Structure 1
Amino acid sequence: MDRRRFISNMVAGIAGPFAGVACAGARGGAEPVSGYGPLRPVKDLRDGKVRLHLPDGFKYRSFSVAGDKYDDGSTVPGRHDGMAAFSGPKGSAVLIRNHEVNGPVGAFGDKDKAYDPMAGGGTSTLRVTRYGEVITSAPSLTGTMMNCSGGPMAWRAWVSCEETVNGPDVGDDFSGGDNSKLTRKHGYIFEVPIGRAASARPIKAAGRFPHESAAFDPSSGAIYLTEDNFGFPSGFYRYLPPKHPILAGRLLDGGRLQMLAVKGAERKDLSEGQEPGAAYAATWVDIDDPDPEFKGRPSNDVAVQAVGKQGRRKGAAIFSRLEGAVHHQGTIYFVSTQGGATAPGDTAPDGFGQGRGQVWAYETWSGRLKLAYESPRASVLDLPDNVTASRRGTLVLCEDGDGDNYLRGLSKAGQIFDFCRLQPIPDDAGAEFAGSTFGPGGHTLYVNVQARQGMSIAIWGPWERGPF
């Protein structure tokens, strides 16, 4: 099949299974449903410890724990985050996984291959069975920083996103690390292909800002990008490469970066609570200087807003902490972690945004932006982060909440249900789910636990019994 026919086939059926979500459940109109039934503690098949609470019939195994060794003898870093699964030989899955490590702590793996030998983030590439047994493991992108999420690409690559603008040219960030020790600028996206080494070349035209996720639209070739700017407004972007990536076989630099705006409403504040069924006609404004040169080493707070402010000066919309994003049948679903209204009895979270989370749907074929869901209160959905989609048309939301953290499902009808609860980890209240992704054929849901001793987990069971 030639590449143009391949693209055409990929975009067929764009009005598919999520068509109902975009109008349902706004502001929590749909109450939680049972999903797969009540959750119970289940022992990890790796060592017998209880790490997850799951419905009856589901099993799991953790693997590739921080501190383990790769095949080359180097050490697996922590802060497991965004991840994607690709089909591998003999029914295996190839996982590419981020490590959200901040600060000038030194690169893991071979420092001679690192983008910045002083930066400790990057990606791992693993080949695993559908039961979470590791076959091969290796570092794949090193010397980057705060690799939070990203997205799988149709040409069998992962785009990894740096959620920072740290570098020797800007002031130190909240972590207290010394940016003067860094050798390169950070805040970019990087391509990590399967089957060959990552080039460690940033796609600078896609912007220098606190990137979170990337979602590829095969129809246009655009890469949709979210921004997680904790203390300030965030934007929803798209990068238009100079050549369609499927035709090029890779993601090229030198394209155009744009930011979403609402037609007829300059700087529309979509971080606030929305009415059920809220929908907007969207347009896009160009970012003239996606990779600004800073003079006089500005503060991190100034540098982290430099790209977003360009868009807002042209009328771009305001969001709160955009995190996970996924493409499904012509629609980009993306999460606003602190979007929405503060419910009575809930406490507004720290940072920009007063709510407990929104899920937005951007229809690439119509240019319409719709609210898919807004959390009515923390007990229903609490600060959603990464997101993926099942083959049957249900979203999986990873929580980053203040109390217990769940994997929640958002059905096509706009109903939220609990699928998995993380067993609290003593002395690690910040542990959270991240990087959920279904493996080949949908047999296994792979997910990460981002904790002081991070790990990946394979979950399998009677999926046919519920909406996933």
Structure 2
Amino acid sequence: MGDNGGMHRRHFLRFGALGGGTLALGSLGFWRNVYAAPPTPGIGPYGAMADVADANGLRLPRGFTSRVIARSGDVVPGTDYVWHMAPDGGACFAQPDGGWIYASNSEVSPDGGVSSVRFDAKGQVTGAWRILAGTHLNCAGGPTPWGTWLSCEEHRQGLVWECDPTKPGQGVARPMLGAFVHEAAAVDELGRHLYLTEDTPTGRFYRFTSAKWPSLEEGTLEAAQVISDARSGARVRWVPVSPLTSAAQQANAKETTVFAGGEGCWSEGGIVYFTTKHDNRVWAYTPLTHRLEVLYDAATYPGAPLRGVDNLTLSKAREVFVCEDGDDMQLCLLTPDRKVTPFLQVVGHPRSELAGAAFSPDGKRLYLSSQRGTDGRGVTYEVSGPFRTRPA
């Protein structure tokens, strides 16, 4: 591996407290403890990316390998199923036999929907099928603790569809989760709430409270109002809104806070993480304390290594992996020891974006897609290697 000083200034950058406050706290105290320490220089936990891409066009750290799982328009190897166009958000689901399923959205219109690909306990592909059809611009979404996939439509009257990833079928619309330009969804199992992002310049950050947990058929939808306090920092108050349209179009719109271009959303360990693309930020919301904080803000750093923030996921080591929409097509990570660093880069896909990052249930394999590949057809990858599987 080479050592280019300019690349390191661009790619390996520490991040510190923003806006005068501390960084993500979390009800379990994990992030509070690590951010109590002073920042340290250096690259990320997996080392620098290779100077040269592998045979699949990925620059990876030493010890990591990749394989192509599927290409849009082609039959998934080992199955008779043709993989969908424009693969976007995705998640993995553990299966009783030790295998797992990766569900992936299709961000096209008409007939977007979702596909699943099945792996056995050894990681071999054993099947693939459609779990949602007849929907439009299925962008991101999120898994539920009860084993379903929530697929979000990204258009003005977009709905959230709850799907069973384990077998061919048709998902069920959940209109009480709102009709707007949906992006992603995340379930906070501890607090029994579901959180949603909205991908418009005047988007909001939403919370859904089920009338009968864990059913998503009935409940209350609210949008965040951020309140600043000199002593406790930014806190969130929740304002009830109608599920029939965007909160930005409602009579009480001024009571809710704009999050410009909501993107990925993930809940883990009592913290809800989400990204906003128009200001290139990664946020952390702690439901127990109602505290909202900024983990990363690209504007703070000249030549920031992470831009075009999009889908995100967490490793078992609680590293936050963030996909780039465009920029230099990297998957970057924010580490608990205060680094922001690229983990991998897809080379030769200048008009594409990365999406659908998700770990296998054991945390040892990572799935993601280049949505438009080199020729307009998406490519879905698996990356294997020495991922950390527990917090340091």
TM-score class, shorter-chain normalisation, is: 0.7 to 0.9
Query: 3-state DSSP class of the match of 2:172?
Result: coil
Query: 3-state DSSP class of the match of 1:91?
Result: coil
C-alpha distance 238-466 of structure 1, shift in aligned 2 (>3 A) = closer
Query: 3-state DSSP class of the match of 2:250?
Result: helix
Question: C-alpha offsets along residues 345-402 of structure 1, whole Å, 9 cap, x if unaligned?
Answer: xxxxxxxxxxxx1111110111111111111245411111010011111100101133
Instruction: Quote the offset at 1:327 in angstroms.
Output: 0.5
2:368 is the alignment partner of 1:447: yes
C-alpha distance 137-22 of structure 1, shift in aligned 2 (>3 A) = farther
Partner of 1:9: none
In the alignment, which of 226, 238, 245 is matched to residue 262 of structure 1?
226
Instruction: Quote the offset at 1:77 in angstroms.
Output: 1.9
Partner of 1:320: 260
Instruction: Quote the offset at 1:434 in angstroms.
Output: 0.7
In the alignment, which of 95, 102, 107 is matched to residue 95 of structure 1?
102
Partner of 1:388: 313
Partner Cα distance (2:61, 2:28) in 1: 31
Instruction: Quote the offset at 1:466 in angstroms.
Output: 11
Instruction: Quote the offset at 1:431 in angstroms.
Output: 1.3
Root-mean-square deviation (CA, aligned residues, Å) is 2.9
- Kept in 2: contact 1:98–1:122 (CA 8 A): yes
C-alpha distance 262-465 of structure 1, shift in aligned 2 (>3 A) = closer
- Kept in 2: contact 1:100–1:121 (CA 8 A): yes
2:289 is the alignment partner of 1:366: yes
Partner of 1:350: none
Any unmatched runs of 5+ in structure 1? 1-12, 44-48, 103-118, 166-185, 246-250, 266-274, 293-305, 340-356
Partner Cα distance (1:440, 1:236) in 2: 28
Partner of 2:205: 236
Partner of 2:84: 77
2:73 is the alignment partner of 1:67: yes
Query: 3-state DSSP class of the match of 1:214?
Result: strand
Partner of 1:208: 179
Which runs of structure 2 are paired with 1:148-163 in the superposition (5 Å)?
148-163=139-154
Query: 3-state DSSP class of the match of 1:19?
Result: helix
In the alignment, which of 371, 387, 390 is matched to residue 463 of structure 1?
387
Normalised by the length of structure 1, the TM-score is 0.71
Partner Cα distance (1:227, 1:14) in 2: 25
2:354 is the alignment partner of 1:430: no
Question: C-alpha offsets along residues 111-151 of structure 1, whole Å, 9 cap, x if unaligned?
Answer: xxxxxxxx320100111257764210000101111111111
2:327 is the alignment partner of 1:407: no
Partner Cα distance (1:17, 1:203) in 2: 34
Query: 3-state DSSP class of the match of 1:120?
Result: coil
Question: C-alpha offsets along residues 187-207 of structure 1, whole Å, 9 cap, x if unaligned?
Answer: 000101244555433211111
Partner of 1:111: none
Partner Cα distance (1:387, 1:87) in 2: 19
Where is the helix percentage greater, Structure 1 or Structure 2? 1
- Kept in 2: contact 1:161–1:212 (CA 8 A): yes
Query: 3-state DSSP class of the match of 1:308?
Result: helix
Partner Cα distance (1:419, 1:188) in 2: 33
C-alpha distance 211-128 of structure 1, shift in aligned 2 (>3 A) = same
Partner of 1:138: 129
Normalised by the length of structure 2, the TM-score is 0.83
In the alignment, which of 186, 190, 193 is matched to residue 219 of structure 1?
190
Query: 3-state DSSP class of the match of 1:18?
Result: helix
Which runs of structure 2 are paired with 1:246-395 in the superposition (5 Å)?
251-263=215-227, 279-287=233-241, 289-292=242-245, 306-310=246-250, 313-339=253-279, 357-375=280-298, 376-395=301-320
Aligned residues between the structures = 360
- Kept in 1: contact 2:323–2:332 (CA 8 A): yes
